[in-house]
């Protein structure tokens, strides 16, 4: 009895700490909004050479986590991950929270949120940015529907495909951006979808009651696929033009090398080895956290490597401003606060399906001759 009381107290203390941390970070996020909107582009470290700074890396990461959670929900709706089935509603709450937070980061990056209305009213369907907006909005709507109603195979699959479409279109945005050697590869959208699946499975590994054979091995397989894509970039750069080769130099031995090697060795190879070789609670959860950190680093490295070399071949120095750092941590706290609020307002589990009532059984024998 005392043990159960202690566990309950620890859980309550952790929940309170989570609320406080997320509330503080959200306050920082709101303050960052005010500074950004009041100060304009001068408040950011972005420039004509590096127009997308670290803040956009945070956007891509949050969108990837949200899309990966929707894909995870689809797997659960098909009965492929029974270990996390009871967390399915919480998965959709988390997906909507991450996607909503990602959308607000884009608004800050625009600097003028009213421009979103121009995108809606004068949308050009030939632009990948328009489709990114469409799939992001559709993912939020389908995720919200899944919160209120337990998704079957149709709704779960539709939400999962929309979530993957968000990250795939973001890969297409990289692909069609002119003058960026590392981005102009058809493998980028596929890699982004693999990273989304890594995020979804990492959350599954954290949330599941640790039936390692159900969550660890699929996550290890996804990490191995991501590693194959990363190594394939080396050969692609060696065979490609000067532009892509210079971008890879930034990753392998240039100013971005520390982030890149930490991502590859510490957040892809190491967790994959742990998941395959060590089957215990600590190893699985540590590997899941490393995998999530690795996806964030992957977004930052590919984003910056495609921008830090100008047209003359000179490497442009870039470091995120304090405002960008505040926006990054603040948006994560905002996503966490949305999840906590959603989990409090809505139950994190679906109501049990109603069982058909059996016909009442007569407790006496009818009299002979009577119908």
Cβ proximity of 339 and 94 under 8 Å: yes
Dump pLDDT digits (tens) for 102-158: 999 988 776 666 666 666 677 788 888 889 999 999 999 999 999 999 999 999 999
Distance (Å, rounded) from C-alpha 314 to C-alpha 13? 52
Distance (Å, rounded) from C-alpha 205 to C-alpha 291? 11
CA nearest neighbour of 102 among 43, 46, 165, 166? 166
Backbone angles phi, psi at 327, to 5 degrees: -65, -40
Dump pLDDT digits (tens) for 164-200: 999 999 999 988 876 566 787 788 899 999 999 999 9
In the three-class reduction of DSSP (H, G, I as helix; E, B as strand; rest coil), residue 154 is classed as: helix
| Burial class for 217, CB neighbours closer than 10 Å (0-12, 13-18, 19+) | middle
- pLDDT band per the 50, 70, 90 thresholds, residue 370: very low
Distance (Å, rounded) from C-alpha 240 to C-alpha 155? 42
Highest-confidence segment of 17-21, 85-89, 324-328: 17-21
Cβ proximity of 39 and 322 under 8 Å: no
Reading phi first (left if > 0) and then psi (alpha if -120 to 50, else beta), residue 158 is in: alpha
Is residue 369 over pLDDT 50? no
Backbone angles phi, psi at 309, to 5 degrees: -115, 120
Q: What length does the chain have?
A: 371
Distance (Å, rounded) from C-alpha 336 to C-alpha 330? 10
| Burial class for 163, CB neighbours closer than 10 Å (0-12, 13-18, 19+) | buried
> Around 294, how many Cα atoms within 13 Å sit in the side-chain half-sphere?
33
- pLDDT band per the 50, 70, 90 thresholds, residue 371: very low
CA nearest neighbour of 301 among 255, 241, 234? 255
Is residue 273 over pLDDT 70? yes
Secondary structure (DSSP) of 140-182? HHHHHHHHHS---HHHHHHHHHHHHHHHHHHHHHHHH-TT-TT
- pLDDT band per the 50, 70, 90 thresholds, residue 100: very high
Residues 6+ apart with CB under 8 A from 6: none
Is residue 1 over pLDDT 50? no
| Mean pLDDT across the chain | 83
Secondary structure (DSSP) of 215-276? HHHHHHHHHHHHHHHHHHHHHHHHHS-HHHHHHHHHHHTSTTHHHHHIIIIIIIIHHHHHHH
Distance (Å, rounded) from C-alpha 330 to C-alpha 299? 18
Among 26-30, 145-149, 224-228, 242-246, the minimum mean pLDDT is found in 242-246
Is residue 34 over pLDDT 80? yes
Dump pLDDT digits (tens) for 341-364: 999 998 878 877 665 555 555 554
């Amino acid at each position: 009895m005392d043990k159960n009381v202690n566990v309950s107290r620890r859980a309550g203390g952790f929940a309170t700490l989570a609320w406080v941390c997320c509330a503080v970070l959200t306050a920082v996020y709101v303050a960052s909004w005010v500074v950004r909107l009041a100060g304009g582009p001068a408040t950011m470290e972005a420039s004509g050479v590096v127009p997308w700074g670290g803040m956009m890396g945070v956007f891509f990461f949050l969108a990837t986590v949200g899309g990966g959670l929707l894909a995870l929900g689809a797997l659960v709706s098909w009965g492929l991950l029974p270990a996390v089935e009871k967390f399915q509603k919480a998965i959709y709450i988390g997906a909507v929270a991450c996607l909503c937070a990602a959308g607000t980061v884009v608004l800050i990056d625009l600097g003028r949120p009213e421009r979103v209305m121009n995108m809606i009213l004068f949308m050009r369907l030939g632009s990948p940015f328009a489709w990114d907006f469409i799939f992001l909005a559709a993912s939020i709507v389908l995720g919200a529907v899944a919160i209120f109603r337990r998704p079957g195979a149709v709704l779960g699959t539709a939400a999962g495909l929309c979530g993957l479409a968000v990250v795939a279109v973001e890969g297409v945005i990289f692909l069609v951006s002119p003058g960026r050697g590392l981005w102009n590869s058809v493998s980028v959208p596929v890699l982004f979808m693999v990273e989304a699946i890594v995020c979804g499975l990492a959350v599954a590994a954290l949330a599941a009651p640790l039936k390692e054979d159900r969550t660890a091995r699929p996550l290890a397989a996804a990490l191995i696929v991501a590693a194959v894509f990363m190594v394939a970039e080396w050969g692609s750069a060696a065979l490609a033009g000067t532009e892509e080769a210079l971008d890879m130099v930034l990753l392998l031995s240039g100013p971005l090398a520390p982030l890149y090697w930490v991502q590859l060795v510490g957040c892809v190879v190491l967790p994959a080895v742990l998941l395959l070789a060590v089957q215990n609670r600590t190893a699985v959860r540590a590997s899941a956290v490393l995998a999530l950190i690795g996806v964030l680093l992957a977004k930052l490295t590919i984003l910056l490597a495609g921008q830090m070399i100008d047209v003359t071949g000179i490497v442009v120095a870039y470091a995120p401003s304090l405002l960008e750092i505040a926006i990054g941590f603040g948006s994560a706290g905002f996503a966490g606060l949305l999840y906590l609020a959603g989990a409090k307002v809505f139950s994190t589990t679906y109501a049990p399906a109603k069982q058909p009532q059996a016909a009442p059984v007569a407790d006496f024998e009818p009299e002979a001759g009577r119908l």
